[in-house]
Amino acid sequence: MLSQQQIAFYRENGYLVLEGHLTAGQLAPVRDALARLVAGAQGLAASDDVYDLEDSHRPDAPRVRRIKLPHRVDPAFDALMRSDAILGPVRDLVGPSLRLHTSKLNLKSAGYGAAVEWHQDWAFYPHSNDDILAVGVMLDDVGPENGPLLVLPGSHRGPILDHHADGRFCGAVDPAASGLDLADAVALTGPAGSISLHHVRLVHGSDLNRSARDRALLLYEITAADAWPIQGSLSQFGDLESYDSKLLCGEPTICPRMANVPVRLPKPGPEKGGSIYENQKGAGTRHFGIVEGTGKTTADAD
Ligand SMILES: O=C(O)CCC(=O)C(=O)O
């Protein structure tokens, strides 16, 4: 599905954007499912197994930050995940046998949608090899102004950075302390139906959505089937049967492929669990702005 040029670009830079990749017919069912889920947040008092709510959420004025595990919540997300439109490009980059790590739908609503601090997904779930990536499906038009994913090209070939603060894992890096040059950041944008693919070690983050346009990003995190989670990571590993039930295509294996990859365990675990938004509250410094309970926007920390 991908050209040799696109594959080479991904290997070099750690990301790829396929603009307008989904057809209208593929996009419509997932957008409809999202609208139903957002309507279902009316009256909710607190986050639960499906909804991760903004700090400024109120039951009578719902603010959803994330839908957790959307592929389990509505069949439309599951069907898209298993389609060739999603698995085709991943097979070209990772190989024929793929396993789902997890899925999530980050909403970043107009005017207040939360930022995600700079991080590497690898810091949360190191595996025996790093043939792992996240597919981001843009459910809205994404431009520079509505909180696009920002990536640092080539950073997937660098070290695993320090995601700890005060001796605990916080799921965020301090860009200055880590020597990151944020002037190199690239925004992954495109019309609704575009997809991005980013490598598990790529440094990325995203700003508050200060614009008047929603930005929903559906993420499928997918591993090579022979990448096994390292004990002590935040990955949930139960039993072999449930692990193998996450196979998306190809063959399962009980022989992990070991690669020479840098690993730093996310231990001791974060003070606040539940989602990356909660984990990152433990970060000493914040690069992006936050929205307080009133919905007021604070100035950027740096
Ligand atoms: O939604 C975003 O912009 C960032 C998502 C992300 O990096 C994450 O959830 O790990």
DSSP string, 108-148: --TTTPPPEEEE-GGGT--BSS--EEEEEEESS-B-TTS--
- The tens digit of pLDDT for each residue in 165-206 reads 999 999 999 999 999 999 999 999 999 999 999 999 999 999
What is the structure's pLDDT at 290?
66
pLDDT band for 25, please (50, 70, 90 cuts): very high
What is the structure's pLDDT at 55?
86
Residue bearing tokens 């207040």: 112
Pocket test for ligand 1, best of 106, 222, 279 (most atoms within 8 A of CB): 106
CB proximity list for 163: less than 8 A, separation 6 or greater: 119, 120, 123, 169, 170, 171, 172, 173, 264, 266
Q: Kindly list the distances between the CA atom of residue 259 and the CA atoms of 14, 117, 125, 294, in Å, as whole numbers in the listed order.
A: 17, 28, 15, 48
Ligand 1 centroid to 152 CA: how many Å? 14
Atom of ligand 1 nearest to the CA of 147: 3
Token pair listed for 199: 């490598």
Atom of ligand 1 nearest to the CA of 124: 10
The closest residue, in CA terms, to atom 10 on ligand 1 is: 121
Domains and CATH numbers, the chain: 4-282 (2.60.120.620)
What is the structure's pLDDT at 298?
29
Q: What would you measure as the largest C-alpha separation in the chain, in angstroms?
A: 51
Token pair listed for 170: 């916080």
- The tens digit of pLDDT for each residue in 102-119 reads 999 999 999 989 999 999
Residues having CB closer than 6 A to ligand 1 are 106, 108, 116, 121, 149, 204, 206, 217, 276
Ligand 1 centroid to 104 CA: how many Å? 9
Atom of ligand 1 nearest to the CA of 116: 4
Ligand 1 centroid to 237 CA: how many Å? 22
Ligand 1 centroid to 118 CA: how many Å? 9
Q: Kindly list the distances between the CA atom of residue 215 and the CA atoms of 27, 66, 113, 168, 181, in Å, as whole numbers in the listed order.
A: 15, 11, 8, 31, 26
What is the structure's pLDDT at 273?
84
- The tens digit of pLDDT for each residue in 211-249 reads 999 999 999 999 999 999 998 788 777 889 999 999 999
Ligand 1 centroid to 23 CA: how many Å? 24
Write the DSSP string, 156-196: GGSPPP--EETTEE-S---TTTTT--GGG-EEE-BSTT-EE
> What's the CA gap between 288 and 51, in Å, rounded?
23
- The tens digit of pLDDT for each residue in 124-167 reads 999 999 999 999 999 999 999 999 999 999 999 999 999 999 99
Write the DSSP string, 248-262: EES---SSPPP----
Pocket test for ligand 1, best of 124, 206, 234 (most atoms within 8 A of CB): 206
- The tens digit of pLDDT for each residue in 246-302 reads 999 999 999 999 999 999 999 999 988 888 888 998 898 888 876 543 333 323 222
pLDDT (average), residues 36-57: 93
Ligand 1 centroid to 206 CA: how many Å? 7
Residue bearing tokens 């604070």: 298
Torsion of CA 241, 243, 244, 249, to 10 degrees: 160
Cβ density class 45-78: b for 16+ within 10 Å, e for less: eebeebbbbbbbbeeeebbbbbbbebbebbebbe
- The tens digit of pLDDT for each residue in 6-17 reads 999 999 999 999
- Position 33: which residue type? A
Ligand 1 centroid to 254 CA: how many Å? 30
Residue 127 has a CB neighbour count (10 Å cut-off) of 25
Partners of 220 in the β-ladder = 103, 135
Give me the chain's average pLDDT, please. Answer: 92
